[in-house]
Structure 1
Amino acid sequence: MSKTADTTAQCGAELIVKNLEAHGITHVFGIPGAKVDRLFDALVDSSIETVVTRHEQNAAFIAGGLGRITGKAGVCIATSGPGASNFVTGLATANSEGDPVLAIGGAVKLADRLKLTHQTMDTVSLFRPVTKYSVELTTPTAISEVMANAFRFAESGRPGAAFVSTPMDVLSMPANAPVLADRLAPRMGGAPADVVAEAATLLKKAKRPVMLLGMLASRPDVADAVRAFVKLTGVPVVGTYQAAGAVSEELVDRFGGRIGLFRNQHGDQLLHEADVVVAVGYNPVEYDPWLWNVNDARQIINVDIVPAELDNAFVPAIELIGDIALTLEGLGGKAGGLARAPELEAVLEGYKKARRTALLDARSSSNSAVHPLQIVRELEQFVTPDMTLCLDMGTFHIWLARYLLSFRARQVLISNGQQTMGVGLPWGIAASLVNPSQKVVSISGDGGFMMSSMELETAVRLKCNLIHMVWIDQAYNMVEIQEQKKYGRGSGVHFGPIDFAKYAEACGAKGITATTEDGVRQALREAMDVEGPVVIAVPVDYSHNHLLMQPLAQLGETTAAA
């Protein structure tokens, strides 16, 4: 339905806000400044809530989290110069992860763009390599066109980031133009029927077919189609970290686990044994093709919304390009039930047994720290299907990605594209805004937490229904374990202690320290009864981290590290 009845705007800033409202934006995140204050002023009279963050990078992370959960672009705003440049990591992350985000950055007056003046910066060029769309407004008559296209680029195809530079004089110029950012993007149909039929023929001839799920497979509409396909065909399925939740609980017997970072999982073995791999919504940035397609001996059917970016180890035999859900529906209908290969069934059983044994046997060797899998055991009992789990980057996220199952699409948010530290808490804030009545659990290491911990005050201010768990070891441990493997020692990875319970209290949140598995269980229960954010600090025994890189015997080849 068109929302163009009210098209009069006093200035460019107000027309931008009208476009944001027409697109259904409810929140914007950022920090004001002199070059963009006209836009912040216009937001005061709108239906949009302005959330002031403590750092622009985190504003972009929160917007990206909203984008991933809802499928609609989150919006962040910052002033010129360093305000806008602080968006870079957040937008690069969103672009790699397929999360729709629109960033708006202030800029000096048009006449000052080429001068050495305060906060001048060519942000359009700065953001072009890490976004799908990066432009500057040069006239108020172009505002609606630019805003509409920015949303389309961010949300269509493989979603990602868009950036719009807004010179301060353009924001103040008179503007009177129709709102365009309320147009629905055209929907694609499924892949062509003849190509689908060709792929179905290849699948039916396959002796050991396997499905590989990527980040777009965890979109709710695609996840439904994935589940229907797996149920119909019986094909074994593995997923990258970003595909978490795409497989339902009733199909868990067909699930061979998640793959990523180190090629030593049962999912890697399934792909190694496969003669045909159906890749669904997979982007090579999630897990390098040369790690799982070791000798290029298998044929790949690529099901995606955009053509593959070819790689020496990722050259699809058939590409099914179009609406992924519709394409899978057609492919499953033509392929029907597929024969079950004994070799693959043995790998699936091996995965289930190995996961079960690891969780049962996990014990800490320390009296003052907890084994990672002891925490996984407690989270497995605690995290309900309607809770969202937001993971930062670090060794802890490998333990969680491998052993903590999820059966709801986009229930677990993980970064494995840029592998960005600091995303956990901002994503948790985003999830709590989407569903304020339900608890959100976010997790980080102590290194990653301190990269965005200032937003704990933001979470307190917003009364976020959030539990944030910090795994403590006083090191950048994911770097350290790889240095140990390569050089026999760590370098530049250690830092000092922080009392995170007191830190939380200083920000107005509840702080709890847990040093045993029972303590973790009690802390989670206590946190459930607290209104507002809770930080649970857990010293972690990482003495078993070498197991994360240990070769899987069945692979029969040298294990590679990412």
Structure 2
Amino acid sequence: MTQKKSSKPAQTAADLIVRNLEAHGVDHIVGIPGAKIDRLFEALEDSPIRTIVARHEQNAVFMAGGIGRLTGKAGVAIATSGPGVSNLTTGLATATSEGDPVLTIGGAVGRADLLKLTHQSMDTVSMLRPVTKYSAEIGAPAATSEVIANAFRAAETPRQGGAFVSVPMDVLNSEITEDYPVMGNRNAVKDGPAPEDVIKEAAAALKKAKKPVVLLGMKASRPENADAIRAFLKKTNLPVVGTYQAAGTVSKDLVSRFGGRVGLFHNQYGDYLLDEADLVVAIGYNPIEYDPCLWNRKSARPIINIDVVPAQLDNAFNPEIELIGSIALTMQHLTRETGALTSGAALDKILEVYRASQNNAFAKAKSSQQGMLHPLEIIKVMEDFVAQDITICLDMGSFHIWHARFLEVFRARQMLISNGQQTMGVALPWAMSASLLNPAQKVISVSGDGSFMMSSMDLETAVRLKSNLIHIIWVDQHFNMVRIQEEKKYGRDAAVAFGPIDFAAFARSFGAKGINVNSVESLKAALREGMETQGPVVIAVPVDYIDNPALMNPLPELAK
């Protein structure tokens, strides 16, 4: 860090931005400086907000998205003009599609140069508008507080998502000559429950149904929503299924009514619960998580949709009753109206078969190759280390399907998954965010060897931050999720193979601890060592994906 000036210069729009960020309760900012935005980083030097320098802008916005997902308040990322801002695109698209509040601030050339062919001139506001809820430019110092406040409001109100603010360099450097107001969180919008008459209508439909099933989506796993949903499930005793992003909503005492997680392919026992149901209660569900046409094959069957915003209608998702408002408050009212319910022997039987199948899958799991581990061997070892206070961050690949289907977690937002854009490279940045928010608790993140290399440069940032994380890499030298789908469709794979990397040596070169394992016992030993180590630990595990075709095959017990 450079020496701070002893005398404070005149206040600029950059200082006003920082004051607004402070007023909104921002604790951390992640970014990479450049000539068009460096005034803002200079202003942050005099702020209690902690500035974290990332090694790639995409990872900076992933980290901001992780903060947003875990706290419900917008994480903030900053980038310089041109390619600095364009590198934010994937992170913003991920945040917006998956409901994570994020504010990004980008530098821009001076207003006189915005339409010229000069270095780093780019219409970033237009470029990012399709992947954000709000994209605007601060055109004058007087508009600073207004634009920042509206960006926060857009990012943090339902459905949450990404926001982008562009600041031309001359505006950022402009001296503030008037006492413009700072707008904090005092105007935050608070939702009430759905209308009482609609809640009564939903309760009546539930009481009439013979085989109702609950489908949980991404918003169900917000902690305040999860508490209310658990109370509803305890009182009604209904079978419940979750999407991948609903992980952790169902508590351990409700596990006997849990039919597992569904997504991507219609071949899980949870799918068969939904097939059998005569009414589905969708709570906090977004169709981007799991296509309605895959799980709702009875177009005439009624659906009750409980959410913060009305559903985007689909031929296969056209709710008969919608309860729109605070999910937590709506569930509390619905629980009072509903009482205990019955769901029928057919659904109970599916739940029994599901639980038995899970146990059987673990019992049979064994690698066919010496020095490699079966996916369920890895997950079985992980289960012994995944305490209630450990957060799991998953990257994208076939390994995330194994985790989503078989790794049990019972705390809301305990397992983070990208299941909207299915973005590769998110696990390590998310894990760094989780460690920032709770430094005393260990975080476990998981990548494939393909997805890890998409964000691996920020392992240096994790070392610098002393992030208390263990990152497990499943190694097979392929983009494996693409591979299994190509083999299913074409009978062969194409353009999915790449070369080997010594990940333990790679990690050590960054200053992290690196461990290569080749057996169940060595994985256990590596995880024990990782749990006792302060700072990042990378564990590389060679994986035998021999049973990957089963991820897409129909279940023989219930195949139709």
Instruction: Please indicate, yes or no, whether the TM-score normalized by the shorter chain is above 0.5.
Output: yes
In structure 1, how many angstroms separate the alpha carbons of the residues matched to 2:238 and 2:125?
46
Measured after TM superposition, the shift of residue 111 of structure 1 is 1.1
Find the aligned partners of 1:106 and 1:133 in 2 and give their Cα distance.
16
Find out whether 1:92 has 2:93 as its counterpart: yes
Matched, 1:225 2:191: no
CA–CA separation in structure 2 for the residues paired with 1:295 and 1:337: 26
1:535 to 528, 535, 538: 538
State the distance in 2 between where 1:486 and 1:186 align: 48
After superposition, the C-alpha distances for 1:350-406 in whole angstroms (9 at most, x for unaligned) are 110001111122111111110000011011111100000000000100000000011
Q: Give the aligned partner of residue 489 of structure 1.
A: 492
Matched residues in 1 for 2:42 and 2:185: separation? Answer: 22
Q: 2:523 aligns with which of 498, 520, 523?
A: 520
Distance (Å, rounded) in 2 between the aligned partners of 1:340 and 1:267: 14
After TM superposition, list the pairs within 5 Å mapping 1:55-454 onto structure 2. 55-175=56-176, 176-454=179-457
Q: What's the TM-score once normalised by structure 1's chain length? A: 0.97
Return 5+ residue gaps in structure 2 as ranges.
1-8
* Cα deviations by residue, 1:56-94 (Å, 9 ceiling, x for unpaired): 000000000010001110000000000000000000001
Q: Is the Cα–Cα contact under 8 Å of residues 147 and 181 in structure 1 kept in the other structure?
A: no
What is the CA distance between 1:158 and its match in structure 2? 1.2
Deviation at 1:294, TM superposition (A): 1.6
Q: Which amino acid aligns with 1:475?
A: H
Query: AA paired with 2:151?
Result: A
Alpha-carbon offset, residue 555 of structure 1? 4.8
Counterpart-to-counterpart distance in 1, 2:475 and 2:320: 46
Tell me the residue number matched to 1:467: 470
SS at match of 1:50: strand
Secondary structure at the counterpart of residue 285 of structure 1: coil
Residues 9 and 15 in structure 1, CA contact (< 8 A), matched pair in contact too? no
Give distance in 2, aligned partners of 1:463 and 1:508: 10
User: What SS class does the counterpart of residue 210 from structure 1 fall into?
Assistant: strand
Q: CA deviation at 1:432?
A: 0.3
Deviation for aligned residue 1:182: 3.1
Moved more, 177-186 or 247-256: 177-186
> Does the 8 A contact of 1:269 with 1:554 survive in 2?
no
Deviation digits for residues 419-438 of structure 1 (CA, Å, limit 9, x no counterpart):
00000000000000010001
Counterpart of 1:540 in structure 2: which amino acid? V
TM-score after normalising by structure 2: 0.97
Whether contact under 8 Å (1:151, 1:181) holds in the other structure is no
Matched-pair contact (CA < 8 Å) for 1:19–1:182:
no
Deviation, structure 1 residue 137:
0.4
Secondary structure of 1:454's match?
A: helix
* TM-aligned CA deviation for residue 340 of structure 1: 2.9
C-alpha distance in 1, partners of 2:271/2:556? Answer: 12
Secondary structure in structure 1 of the residue aligned to 2:323: strand
Distance of 1:422 and 1:478 partners within structure 2: 14
SS in 2 for 1:382: coil
Separation in 1, partners of 2:230, 2:224: 10
SS at match of 1:104: strand
The Cα shift of 1:9 comes to: 7.4
- Mapped partners of 1:181, 1:499: distance in 2: 48
CA pair 555-361 structure 1, distance change in 2 beyond 3 A: closer
Partner Cα separation in structure 1 for residue 397 and residue 61 of structure 2: 20
CA distance, structure 2, for counterparts of residue 556 and residue 515 of structure 1:
36
Q: How far apart, in 2, do the equivalents of 1:21 and 1:34 lie?
A: 23
SS at match of 1:443: strand
TM-superposed CA distance for 1:297, in Å, is 3.8
Asked if 2 retains the 8 angstrom alpha-carbon contact of 1:104 and 1:163, the reply is yes
- Cα distance, 1:49 vs. partner? 1.1
Task: After superposition, give the CA deviation of every residue in 1:257-308 in whole Å (9 maximum; x if it has no partner).
Answer: 0001111001000100011100000000000000000232421000000000
Tell me whether 1:476 sits opposite 2:462 in the alignment.
no
Name the residue aligned to 1:4.
Answer: none
CA contact (8 A) 1:144 1:181 kept: no
- RMSD (Å), alpha carbons: 1.0
| Distance in 2 between residues matched to 1:360 and 1:556, nearest whole Å | 22
- Residues in 2 aligned to 1:434 and 1:411: alpha-carbon distance in whole angstroms: 13
Please list every run of 5 or more consecutive structure 1 residues that lacks an aligned counterpart in the other structure: 1-7, 558-562
What residue in structure 2 maps to residue 15 of structure 1? 16
- TM-superposed CA distance for 1:554, in Å, is 5.2
| Residues in 1 aligned to 2:399 and 2:320: alpha-carbon distance in whole angstroms | 37
| CA distance in 2 between partners of 1:31 and 1:484 (Å) | 40
* Corresponding residue pairs, total: 550
Distance 2:334 2:232 in 1: 8
User: For 1:491 and 1:199, how far apart are their aligned partners in 2?
Assistant: 50
In structure 1, C-alpha distance between the alignment counterparts of 2:307 and 2:385, rounded to whole Å: 35
Tell whether the 8 Å contact from 1:466 to 1:532 is kept in structure 2 after alignment. Answer: yes
Q: Tell me the alpha carbon deviations over residues 186-243 of structure 1, each in whole angstroms, 9 at most, x when there is no partner.
A: 2111000011111111110000000000000000000001100000101110000000
Secondary structure in 1 matching 2:471: strand
User: CA offsets per residue over residues 8-28 of structure 1, 9 Å max, x none?
Assistant: 971100000001111111111
Q: Quick check: 1:211–1:279 contact (8 Å CA) kept in 2?
A: yes
SS in 1 for 2:115: coil
Q: How far is 1:181 from its partner?
A: 2.5
Displacement of 1:184 in angstroms is 4.2
Once residues 452 and 52 of structure 1 are traced to their aligned partners in structure 2, the CA distance between those partners, rounded to angstroms, is 14
Work out the CA distance in 2 between the residues paired with 1:537 and 1:399.
17
- Structure 1 stretch displaced more, 141-150 or 490-499: 141-150
272-281 vs 181-190, which moves further: 181-190
